[in-house]
Amino acid sequence: MEEFLNDLIPNVMARQDIFFKSIRETCLMVGWSGSISFLLGILFGVTITVTRPDGICSNKIVYHILDKLVNFFRSVPFIILLACLVPLTRLIMGTSIGVKGAIVPLVFGCTPFFTRQMESALAEVDPGLIEAAQSMGLGNLDIIWRVYLRESIAGIVRGTTITLISLIGLTAMAGAIGAGGLGNFAIMYGHQRNMLDVTYTTVLVLVVMVSLIQVTGNYIAKRNTH
């Protein structure tokens, strides 16, 4: 087996330690920035939903500020965002390279996208349910928790799946400018040293990762659809 692999992907086998470290780094970046973006995205998505003009606690100022902020960050290409955020990243994390340096820009790149995903998941909650809950005397926090979030679990899971997959794409880009991970691995060896087997192996690993996320997401979403 090992011989076979040595023949097939010699450059990867020769750099197994870097290869596995890259996979770990990618997982770390996705895990950390994904978790932070998930929480922030839910917070912002819910806030935008309830403060919109016909929402349960409409607030023009909060709604417009958040809405414009999300639009702003979504319109900046990620590669440029990476460069813009270097000073802020240094300030927060103490470094702008490596996995630690990648998390801040990844969160900035991912949260607005996930916020929109959350918004559309929450928008699918029938306004009639909100009205019914209000008629039962529920307060706004209860409505958010027991109706909005509870009723849109499937939608939130689908949005999370899409976001995680696009986040893997972002980590590869971050990798290209010094964050490490599979993106860095592929660019450094596969592209710059023209080791095609490295590129192909990276692609294969990414495809497997994306498929796993997709399958898991679909499964959870399905189990929560009644």
Partner 1 sequence: MEAMIKFQHVRKEFNSDGKKFLAVDDVSFDIQKGEVFGIIGFSGAGKSTLVRCINLLERPTSGQVFINGTEITELPMSKLRQKRKKIGMIFQQFNLFASRTVWDNIAFPLKGSGLSKEEKAEKVEKLLKLVELDSKADAYPSNLSGGQKQRVAIARALASDPEILLSDESTSALDPKTTKSILNLLKKVNRELGITIVVITHEMQVIKEICDRVAVMKDGKVVEIGEVFDIFANPQEQITREFVEHTSNLSKIYELVEEKSDIVRVDQEQIVWRLRYLERNVSEALVSQLSRKFDLDINIIFGNIELIGENPIGGLVAIVRGTPEQIDGAIDYLHEKNVGVEVILDGRVSE
In the complex, the residues that contact partner 1 under the rule CB under 8 A are: 126, 128-129, 131-132, 134-139, 146-147, 150-151, 153, 224, 226
List the structure tokens of 7: 């023949």
Nearer to partner 1, 51 or 152 (CB): 152
Q: Provide, rounded to whole angstroms, the least separation between the CB of residue 9 and partner 1.
A: 46
Q: What is the DSSP secondary structure assignment for residue 226, as one 8-state letter? A: -
Question: Which residue matches tokens 């499964």?
Answer: 219
Of 124, 158, 129, 160, nearest to 146 (Cα)?
129
Q: Provide, rounded to whole angstroms, the least separation between the CB of residue 132 and partner 1.
A: 4
Q: What is the DSSP secondary structure assignment for residue 59, as one 8-state letter? A: -
Instruction: Compute the distance between CA of residue 206 and CA of residue 196 in angstroms, rounded to an integer.
Output: 15
Nearer to partner 1, 31 or 139 (CB): 139
Q: Provide, rounded to whole angstroms, the least separation between the CB of residue 11 and partner 1.
A: 50
Q: Provide, rounded to whole angstroms, the least separation between the CB of residue 184 and partner 1.
A: 42
Nearer to partner 1, 30 or 133 (CB): 133
CA dihedral 119→124→126→131, nearest 10 degrees, is -10
List the structure tokens of 27: 């997982």
Q: Provide, rounded to whole angstroms, the least separation between the CB of residue 131 and partner 1.
A: 6
Nearer to partner 1, 87 or 128 (CB): 128
Nearer to partner 1, 8 or 126 (CB): 126
Nearer to partner 1, 138 or 210 (CB): 138
Q: What is the tally of helices (H) and strands (E) in the chain? A: 13, 0
Asked if 163 contacts 171 with a C-beta cutoff of 8 angstroms, the reply is no
Backbone angle region of 178, left / alpha / beta, with phi > 0 → left and psi within -120 to 50 → alpha: left
Q: Provide, rounded to whole angstroms, the least separation between the CB of residue 43 and partner 1.
A: 21
